[in-house]
Amino acid sequence: MPDVAQTQPLRPDDPVSLGGYRLVGRLGEGAQGVVYAGTGPDGANVAIKLLRARIGEQAVDDADGFLREVAAARRVAQFCTARVIGAHMDGDHPYIVSELVDGVSLQRIVHDEGPRRDGALYRLAVGTITALAAIHRAGIVHRDFKPSNVLLGPDGPRVIDFGISRALDSSVTLSSGVVGTPAYMSPEQIGAQRVGPPSDLFSWAVTMIFAATGRPAFGFDSLPAVIYRVINEEPDVSQLPDRLRPLVQSCLAKRPEDRPTAAEALFILLDQQGADTDDLERSMTAGLQVAANPFAPPSHDAAPVNPFVSPSHDAAPVNPFVSPSHDAAPINPSAAVPVNPFASPSLDATPKNAFASPSYDPEAEQSVTVNHRLPDPVFFPDTDVPRRGKRAGLVGGGLAVVLALAATALFVVPAMFSGEEEDPQAVAQVTSSAVPLPPSSVASPPTSPTPSPTPVVTPPPALGKPIGKPLSGHRGAVYSVAAATVGDTHVLVSTGLDRQVRLWNADKRTSIGKPMTGHYDEVYAVAAANVSGRALAVTGSRDGTVRVWDLKKRKALGSPLRGHSDAVYAVAVGKVGDKWVAVSGGADGRIRMWDLKKRKPLGRAIAAHRNVINWLTLGKRDGKTVIISASEDRTLRVWNASTRKRINTTFRAHKKPVYSVTTGVLDGRDVVISGGEDNKIRIWDPKSGKAIGKTLTGHKNNVYSLAFGEVNNHPVLVSGSTDGTIRLWDLETFKSLGKPVKAHKGGVLSVDLIDLDDKPAIVSAGKDRRLKLWQIKEFSP
């Protein structure tokens, strides 16, 4: 959005109105579209961006997706940002209405007045990082942060155009390209990889260098040369002041997981006001431990990971989380775009001093769509199925307070959770794969030297027939189901892509009341538990929030729990010490813990994985409650639930992303069971990280859900796969019990073991928008 001062008359082919807004002049034009100054029905001055992207006649869902993404931008707290008022459609052309900021862009200010110095530079850094923290807190990635998108007004800097690139990228027209300005793009964005909040921190750091020096950090000559430097070279930060330099250097890390979050960067800027360089460096390394627990979660902007199709790893793109090898051939700066950022350059074509060209024209900078060939997108057969595979919020609930006080440079220190270790006998756990039938030791009875009666041999169980008719009512794929008890009634809680939370009477197989609503986007996970006699459910959503529900009253309790910066894919509920807690994880690669009674965060987020957390559960290790997380990075990790510290156990046997995990006890031994995109189920020791028994095979596609329990004194496992089947496994013999059952057309997304009419049963949910109940019968080989 160009400067208000540069308003030009409308051209003959410009519209004179859009919806109820009257257009009074042109503010500018770029690759995304034309920006107009206008007035609303109430006479308020607004900026209207009419986008070039067409949302075609055959892509109605794309229009909905575009409007939904802009709706998310409206929720950004108004800290140093231009408020987004709304989005509308002019035929098949979308346009966005936002607050008209009376200011001049940082790009023009630096060009006209020179670099920012001292206090002006520091205020710019604080104001813009505050804006990014607010943007990320709303679950949005800017993706085009640059000097021309920072306006300097009478009340300080304002960041504009956040969320627009992401909204555009949801359309068919632009989904095959990368939207952004190359000189300010991160390495992963240039490489057409998944882009998350860390990418904005890289762009912010490059913008700070421009503000301090008057020149782009990576030059401004040929586009291939700039791309080469972004990926392979370190910019000169010597002209930055001491108190800003270490933070900017950290944000310029080539690997996304090595950069701080916007919230952490804000804390550093506020806490280190007046500190010397050594203090800043210690803060970067010791205080935040940014690199000690690496994470690099992608965002929704990436091509979705399809749990129904395992992409060929031979065609996988270059890993954005690994810096290019110095032995690898770099790119050719003189090559035409599209380019391969990792191809060998021609040194003769590289300017000797590309950073000192006297012919730099700031007006020539504009948003450029760099068209790369993205990895082959793998979509679900229809829009019912979510996009799993996409950094978390600040410490505890302190971000909103810090944002509110940032302008006055007040520093808020959040309270840390310091619960005592729990009594091993007092632990109760319930997750989305909750086991209502607690397993017991399966050790064989001792032999007797004296004659004894012949024991009664109970045949192992097997999958039986469906119980009654399928439970229908969801308008989208049913993504998660959990069992609970409300009074004397056995109930099921289900969530799905229709954003609803539904309650079912399991005994009568009927719906209970109207659907519960509270999330504004798809609901991916649910866990349930009876907390002090109160039946509660916890849900996680693509809107980045966790919610707590009273199942008896069928309503949400309090406000959404915020802290994740992206979609929440997994939740679990359990007791740690004397405290009932909920645990959540998702696309930001972080684990968060919540006090269920107070509905407050417990301590800081755990930087758990470099990639998406697909699922998590609670279990036991040496009598202590642990969190086990399963990730897109193909690993499972174990965390002490009381201290939130990682236990040095990582399970790496899966060859592809891990999507499901549950826990149990075999022969008196705590075990973890996991499944994933390699179609295999593995059983392993959470203490040693070593495999136990045989790998369970049989599914033809992603093992998406698991539930452990005991039936007729047999430890069993139920598995659900995107091949559409559910299977029952005997964990004494590590063999399948009977034949698989074709349960859901399109794929099984959730399974659980439940108690139904005082008998064990199985509940499954799937892409066909239904829940089904299944008998467990005696197995006849």
pLDDT by residue (tens digit) across 439-496? 333 333 333 343 444 444 456 677 888 999 999 999 999 999 999 999 989 999 999 9
Mean pLDDT of 16-28: 87
Is residue 582 a contact partner of residue 591, using CB atoms and an 8 Å limit?
no
Mean pLDDT of 325-346: 36
Does 277 have pLDDT greater than 70? no
Question: Can you tell me the distance from the alpha carbon of 240 to that of 212, in angstroms, rounded to the nearest whole number?
Answer: 6
Question: Can you tell me the distance from the alpha carbon of 168 to that of 51, in angstroms, rounded to the nearest whole number?
Answer: 9
β-sheet bridge partners, residue 38: 23, 46
At residue 159, the pLDDT reads 86
β-sheet bridge partners, residue 550: 536, 555
Instruction: Band the pLDDT of 757: cuts 50, 70, 90.
Output: confident
Question: Can you tell me the distance from the alpha carbon of 492 to that of 509, in angstroms, rounded to the nearest whole number?
Answer: 9
Contacts of residue 238, defined as CB under 8 A and 6 or more positions apart, other chains included, come to none
At residue 536, the pLDDT reads 96
Is residue 260 a contact partner of residue 272, using CB atoms and an 8 Å limit?
no
Does 650 have pLDDT greater than 50? yes
Does 300 have pLDDT greater than 90? no
- For residue 338, whether the previous peptide bond is cis, meaning omega lies within 30 degrees of 0, is yes
At residue 458, the pLDDT reads 54
Read off the pLDDT of residues 215-254 as tens digits, 9 standing for 90 and up: 889 987 778 889 999 999 999 998 899 889 999 999 999 9
- Write down the pTM of the prediction: 0.50
Give the start-to-end residue ranges of the domains of the chain: 4-310+329-379, 391-417+469-607
At residue 63, the pLDDT reads 52
> DSSP letter at 305?
B
Question: Can you tell me the distance from the alpha carbon of 52 to that of 231, in angstroms, rounded to the nearest whole number?
Answer: 30
Buried/exposed 715-736: b ≥16 CB within 10 Å, e otherwise: bbbbbbbbbbbbbbbbbbeeeb
β-sheet bridge partners, residue 93: 90
**What is the full DSSP assignment across 175-221?**
TTSEEE-GGG--HHHHTT----HHHHHHHHHHHHHHHHHSS-TT-SS
**In the chain, helix, strand, coil percent, each to 5?**
20, 35, 50
Identical topology for domains 4-310+329-379 and 391-417+469-607: no
Question: Can you tell me the distance from the alpha carbon of 401 to that of 305, in angstroms, rounded to the nearest whole number?
Answer: 35
Q: Which CATH class is domain 4-310+329-379?
A: mainly alpha
Q: Which of 60-69, 105-114, 384-393 is predicted least confidently?
A: 384-393
Buried/exposed 575-593: b ≥16 CB within 10 Å, e otherwise: bbbebbbbbbbbbbbbbbb
Distances (CA, A) of 418 to 577, 585, 619, 641: 11, 20, 20, 11
Name the amino acid, one letter, at 261: T
> DSSP letter at 159?
E
Most confident of 217-221, 332-336, 533-537, 710-714: 533-537
Output 421 or 650, whichever has higher pLDDT. 650
Q: Which residue in the block uniquely carries the two structure tokens 């090559």?
A: 335
Is residue 54 a contact partner of residue 92, using CB atoms and an 8 Å limit?
yes
Domain 391-417+469-607 sits in which CATH superfamily? YVTN repeat-like/Quinoprotein amine dehydrogenase (2.130.10.10)
Output 407 or 694, whichever has higher pLDDT. 694
Contacts of residue 698, defined as CB under 8 A and 6 or more positions apart, other chains included, come to 727, 736, 740
Contacts of residue 552, defined as CB under 8 A and 6 or more positions apart, other chains included, come to 486, 487, 534, 535
Is residue 294 a contact partner of residue 258, using CB atoms and an 8 Å limit?
yes
Q: Which of 65-79, 346-360, 527-541, 720-734 is predicted least confidently?
A: 346-360
**What is the full DSSP assignment across 602-666?**
-SSPEE--SS-EEEEEEEEETTEEEEEEEETTS-EEEEETTT-PEEEEEE---SS-EEEEEEEEE
Which helix (H) or strand (E) element contains residue 357? Answer: none
Mean pLDDT of 410-430: 33
Read off the pLDDT of residues 375-412 as tens digits, 9 standing for 90 and up: 222 223 333 444 454 323 323 334 444 444 443 332 33
Is residue 540 a contact partner of residue 523, using CB atoms and an 8 Å limit?
yes
β-sheet bridge partners, residue 772: 764
Instruction: With CA atoms as reference, report the closest residue to 492 among 756, 282, 668, 302.
Output: 756
Mean pLDDT of 29-58: 74
Contacts of residue 213, defined as CB under 8 A and 6 or more positions apart, other chains included, come to 115, 239
Question: Can you tell me the distance from the alpha carbon of 40 to that of 50, in angstroms, rounded to the nearest whole number?
Answer: 15
